[in-house]
Structure 1
């Protein structure tokens, strides 16, 4: 039996929040704080359930947070074919850069072929410092 999808004010606000992030990463805690600011008290389980559903549906990408325990999320709305390229994640601010250039793709395809492995690009990322965080040091 299929589970019904309920349309609530909280779920509408979650969608609004994600749409307004303009391809920036966010955490469940940041989403929770936004909902509280809007006068909506939603428990963490509900927030994670919504994020998990959206991730499973391919509407969000979930990355292990480099700066805290947990995950960061990012909308896939403007990112077509995230499964076809690797990502770079800043260890300081958690921002994500899509490495969709041809050289990187060619290298990863050659690496996969040479090592006889299959790389899940959507889940793969290189870590380091982004330009903004490097300039702050």
Structure 2
């Protein structure tokens, strides 16, 4: 069986993340599988390694807000999920489930509005508070 050296390709990229641009790179490593009939691709990500301290802080803030958004959305989805289970088991009729879906949709629009139109600093402070991540460095005013 012939051995092939694994070729490696480095792709540099710029990612537009809203108002910020993130510069980073992705490594794509291709190597032969054991039967040599196919190539397997493995990707490694090094995005963020070239960010300025200000960009790193902003990225961390966005990650906290994203985590809080996920928490809020999943809390709103859980009752709807339970309603789907009740509908599937025959406990509630389809028309009641469709009304609950409609109510969730309204709630999800409120969540979207809260996260899209709130001031960044206020939203970050609320997210840190709800996630239990407030520190002495956070400005409470």
What TM-score do you get using the length of structure 1 for normalisation? Answer: 0.24
**Which is richer in helix?**
2
Structure possessing the higher relative contact order (Cα contacts under 8 Å, 6 or more residues apart)? 1
**Which is richer in strand?**
2
What TM-score do you get using the length of structure 2 for normalisation? Answer: 0.24
Which structure has the bigger radius of gyration? 2
